[in-house]
Amino acid sequence: MKVFLQMKNIKLTHTGKNTKWSLKFYPKRALLTGVLIVIAIALLKVIFNG
């Protein structure tokens, strides 16, 4: 159980570092992706409600 928790913690810190790194080096790409996701959700809402 302890080993599993340690593995989980390592995984979480690793992904956290990757996220910070990608945000640091690709802020424009991250922003663009966020905008595209928002637009896609808005379009889906319009399609299903209309």
pLDDT in tens, 19-43: 665 556 666 777 788 888 899 999 9
For the whole model, what pTM was predicted?
Answer: 0.41
* Residue 17 or residue 37, greater confidence: 37
What is the residue whose two structure tokens read 């663009």?
32
Phi, psi of 13 (to 5 degrees): -65, -35
Task: Note the residue count of the chain.
Answer: 50
DSSP assignments along 2-47, one per residue: HHHHHHHHHHHHHHHHHHHHHHHH-HHHHHHHHHHHHHHHHHHHHH
Determine the average pLDDT of the residues in 8-20.
Answer: 58
Q: How far apart are CA 28 and CA 17, in angstroms?
A: 18
Tell me, what amino acid is at 2? Answer: K
